[in-house]
Amino acid sequence: MKQELASIIANDEIMPGIHLMWLKSPPIAASAQPGQFVMVRCEKEYPLRRPLSIHQRDGDRLALLFTKVGKGTDWLAKRKAGAHIDILGPMGNGFSLYPTSHNLLLIAGGIGIAPLFFLAKQALNRSCSVTLLEGASTANQLYSRDLLPAEVEPIIATEDGTTGKAGMITKLIPNYINLADQVFACGPIAMYKDMALKKRELKLEGKSVQLSLEVRMGCGLGACYGCTVKTKQGLKQVCKDGPVFELNDILWDDPFNNYS
Ligand SMILES: Cc1cc2nc3c(=O)[nH]c(=O)nc-3n(C[C@H](O)[C@H](O)[C@H](O)COP(=O)(O)OP(=O)(O)OC[C@H]3O[C@@H](n4cnc5c(N)ncnc54)[C@H](O)[C@@H]3O)c2cc1C
Ligand code: FES
């Protein structure tokens, strides 16, 4: 893990309230893996760094994809090309792509495409076929088709029905699950709970489903226990043991002491 003042190459609002930021960060880019994240220092007054997934890597550059939800991400959205930000990473344990897997099903809810893009690129480099189910509240919150790798054809659902199937993206899982050797998901906790609850209906039983847990983090270093999650193997820290976990391993009834 390295700490670095990374220079911002570009910071564009690519969808309303959603920014794609490219950074020059040779030491972190050198070892980053899909599913890992960086801890970003957002202005000196905010002592707690914010966790953001590594969205893409291109040589010595890294991309972050983030939604403006509060003070930290609002500050980040205002940074211009040429400025520097203090980042720590790569952090955590990312996705495990098995050497025997050929067909992957990726499920992105909302900003969930953030870590899955990097995974899709890695899988395509290994000649896997990638199916992406992408869900958003409305059409203008969907990641642009033009920004996805050409080999990935997204299957879309929007909650308000403005494009694609109307409703939750999880409804489409049974139509695409049969060929999948592995399933990877990133989205809100409610999406994971739904998947866990409807495992049989969604035909997820017996499948490996790795997901990235997005919880509030204090330190990101395993020191504050602010990110503790209950699993079948006991209490785990999302920052250190995750953020990627198997769907089946989390105790979904009350994973965060009623936090979420
Ligand atoms: C491993 C990991 C990877 C993440 N990757 C991304 C990413 O790639 N892109 C992205 O947009 N976001 C990502 N997040 C969520 C991101 O960290 C938060 O949105 C961010 O910290 C909010 O900071 P803020 O100061 O803007 O908001 P705050 O002012 O701290 O909070 C504003 C609102 O956002 C909610 N919130 C804050 N932190 C989180 C969180 N960690 N998870 C869920 N809700 C939160 C708060 O409850 C509050 O309602 C990730 C989280 C984790 C743990
Ligand atoms: S965020 Fe502090 S222990 Fe995980």
Q: Let me know whether 110 and 78 are in one domain.
A: no
Task: Establish whether residue 39 lines the binding site of ligand 2, counting it when its CB lies within 6 angstroms of any ligand atom.
Answer: no
What does the alpha-carbon distance between residue 74 and residue 92 come to, in Å, rounded to a whole number?
A: 24
Ligand 1: residue whose CA is nearest its atom 41: 216
What's the pTM value of the predicted model, to 2 decimals?
0.95
Q: Let me know whether 110 and 178 are in one domain.
A: yes
- Give domain status of residue 49, yes or no: yes
| Segment-wise mean pLDDT, segments of 10 residues, the chain, 260 residues | 95 96 97 97 85 97 97 96 96 96 96 97 96 96 93 95 96 95 97 95 95 94 94 96 97 75
Q: Let me know whether 239 and 123 are in one domain.
A: yes
- Structure confidence at residue 259 (pLDDT): 46
DSSP string, 2-46: EEEEEEEEEEEEEETTEEEEEEE-HHHHHH--TT-EEEE--STT-
Q: Let me know whether 134 and 232 are in one domain.
A: yes
What domain count does the chain have? 2
Cα distances from 43 to residues 46, 74, 75, 86, 236, in angstroms, run 6, 11, 7, 9, 29
- Structure confidence at residue 260 (pLDDT): 44
What does the alpha-carbon distance between residue 82 and residue 91 come to, in Å, rounded to a whole number?
A: 25
Both tokens assigned to 135: 């869900």
Other Cβ atoms less than 10 A from the Cβ of 190: the count is 12
Q: What is the DSSP letter of 175?
A: H
Could you tell me the residue range of the domain that residue 123 belongs to?
103-249
Task: Establish whether residue 235 lines the binding site of ligand 1, counting it when its CB lies within 6 angstroms of any ligand atom.
Answer: no
Q: Which atom of ligand 2 is nearest to the CA of 239?
A: 4
